[in-house]
Amino acid sequence: MYEAPMSAFPTTRWTLILAAKSSPEARREALEQLMRAYWRPLFVFFRKKGLDDGAAQDAVQELLAQVIERDAMSKLSPERGRLRAYLRTMAGHLLINGYERGSAAKRGAGGIHVELDDRLSAQLSDDAAESADQAFDRAWAQSLMNQALARLKAEFDSGVRVGPFEVLTQVFGAASSPPSYKVLSAQHGMSLPQLKAFVHRSRARYQVLVREAVVDTVGDSVEAEAELASVLEALGAS
């Protein structure tokens, strides 16, 4: 089985969070990485709770800043449970405690902002029966899958793995049913057996990366099995 060199693995979220206790620079780096990785599930949660796009964006920034900058930091560690559950609980507490729009902006210069995706808000109206917690978990699972796919792409970009990566985006990342293998093999100049072997190898690596993305949020390989099951359930794949 292919194993990437240790230098290819990013610093884990837990390592970043724990290191963030040491300096303002470390806190900033941790906040930026948390924002990039997990703003979508939090944004979906706040939108489902009734905030508009702007207020939801502010709330995400405020919550992640609290995780990194305030006493919440001392309560967050791999031994205390899953990052998913922790952030979702904190999001609920933020609303209960009377979050006011604009509080994140009052922090002053240097705030970290995210780019909103109009499709995300449109999707919310299509899932009206879904609770805020369910929407958060589904968006969280999708974020982990996207992270794994991005890492797989990086391996292809660096030359560690060889082949038409666009095939994998069609197979793994398709929002609807992907094209048939027959169609894909014709599109990419591969025989059907070649395509099947390529997808099989890549799928195995993708599954490893998905699991690593999950471990990255729980800090424990045993705990990761239960969390992975929750991720697959949230996607309707269990």
Segment 157-208, tens digit of pLDDT: 998 899 999 898 888 765 567 788 999 999 999 999 999 999 999 999 999 9
Cα→Cα distances 209→8, 54, 128, 146, 230, Å: 12, 33, 32, 10, 16
- Where is pLDDT greater, at 222 or 110? 222
**pLDDT of 154 higher than 80:** yes
**pLDDT of 109 higher than 60:** no
Q: Can you tell me the distance from the alpha carbon of 213 to that of 194, in angstroms, rounded to the nearest whole number? A: 28
pTM: 0.74
Q: Can you tell me the distance from the alpha carbon of 1 to that of 117, in angstroms, rounded to the nearest whole number? A: 37
Query: CB of 37 within 8 A of CB of 147?
Result: yes
Query: CB of 141 within 8 A of CB of 236?
Result: no
**pLDDT over 70, % of the chain:** 67
Query: CB of 86 within 8 A of CB of 139?
Result: no
**pLDDT of 20 higher than 80:** no
pLDDT attached to residue 190: 93
**pLDDT of 128 higher than 90:** no
Domain segments of the chain as ranges: 6-234
Mean pLDDT value across residues 134-151: 89
Mean pLDDT value across residues 74-102: 72
Please state at what angle helix 132-157 crosses helix 24-48, rounded to 10 degrees. Answer: 130
Which tokens in the block code for residue 132? Answer: 């805020």
Local structure of residue 9 (DSSP, 8 states): S
Closest CA to 68 of 20, 107, 36: 20
- Where is pLDDT greater, at 228 or 199? 199
Closest CA to 89 of 41, 51, 52: 41
Query: CB of 142 within 8 A of CB of 74?
Result: no
